[in-house]
Amino acid sequence: MFLRAGTIRRASTICRQVLPVPVADWRDPHSVSSELDPTTLNAIVTRLESRGKDPVFRSLFDTYFDYVLERCSKVLEVGAGTGVICRALAARSFSGLLVGTDQSSVFIETARKLAIGEGVSGEKLKFLVADARSLKWDVKQNDFDCLIMHTLISHVDDPLSVLKAAREVACEGASLIIVDGDYAGLSYHSSASAALSQTVSAALVTATFASPSVVRDLPSLLSASGWELESAKGTCVSEMGKEFSYWKTFAEAYMPRVIGSGLVDKDKVMAWWDEQRRLAEDGRFFAACTYYKVIAKAV
């Protein structure tokens, strides 16, 4: 059931339940996941797992999973969250070593439990608490032939330091696979309320991503951190008409941070959300962002 005018109260309830945020702290929640309160952490866990099951999100796996399965034997995922990527690779019978790291002990413990529940746990699948800026001290290995950063780099304040840290644990010639969005171009459309829709779209980006335009800087950042760009390809992740899952749950997860930060007035956000849901119900919804798969080699 989609919201219609006059039922904004229900949407307001959603925003109180997902990712609550005090006005004083609206930093990218993923960049400070080790500092978050239990309620916010649990909400993010729910978001990561629901996103991991979404067909739109999972379609991004196909842009590089075959590459990993065919060429790699020791894989480190940096910023693994609840282990969605590592578990998916294990489920596809990856035969090498898979190590997933995250700064949040809650995410890592969740990843371990889910791997056991899905029957993919074992000696070749490990989850470790580690800081992406100092991997060599936490991981204690420097021979990975593949590193994965799947929607990580946009959530860090200092991408260069993270890329340098990744190089320190990679063997020469190792592959670095980065998948992330060019969120400066993320847009929810509305013909009737174009200005408001652009304002809320921009506020969602500001409140969610520490480095929303980082993919545009990757050629320079990779060169400065011991990596050589090998290939890059963009994929438009869009939903149109009645399609309304990936960008629906994204907005539901992060609207509370837009409101809590004061970036956009609550009444305006809720009016915008009511319209977006009605657009989807009427088959007129549109939202899109370009995601890039970037592969670099350790030099």
What is the helix (H) or strand (E) element at residue 101, kind and residue range? strand 97-102
Q: What tokens does 105 get?
A: 């002990």
Nearest CA-CA partner of 289 in 236, 218, 216? 236
Calpha distance 32→263 (Å, rounded): 20
pLDDT (0 to 100) of residue 26:
60
pLDDT (0 to 100) of residue 140:
87
- For the stretch 86-103, pLDDT in tens is 999 999 999 999 999 999
Nearest CA-CA partner of 89 in 101, 79, 100? 100
- For the stretch 173-196, pLDDT in tens is 999 999 999 999 999 999 999 999
Asked whether the predicted pLDDT for residue 3 surpasses 50, the reply is no
pLDDT (0 to 100) of residue 203:
96
Highest mean pLDDT among 132-146, 249-263, 282-296: 282-296
Lowest mean pLDDT among 28-32, 52-56, 119-123, 256-260: 28-32
Q: What tokens does 101 get?
A: 């790291």
Instruction: Read off the pLDDT band of 17 (50, 70, 90).
Output: very low
Instruction: Read off the pLDDT band of 30 (50, 70, 90).
Output: confident
pTM for the complete prediction? 0.88
Calpha distance 68→175 (Å, rounded): 9
Residue 17: CB atoms within 10 Å: 12
Mean pLDDT of 121-144: 92
Percentages helix, strand, coil for the chain (3-state, rounded to 5) are 45, 20, 30
Q: How far is CA 192 from CA 10, 197, 264, in A?
A: 23, 9, 18
Mean pLDDT of 143-172: 97
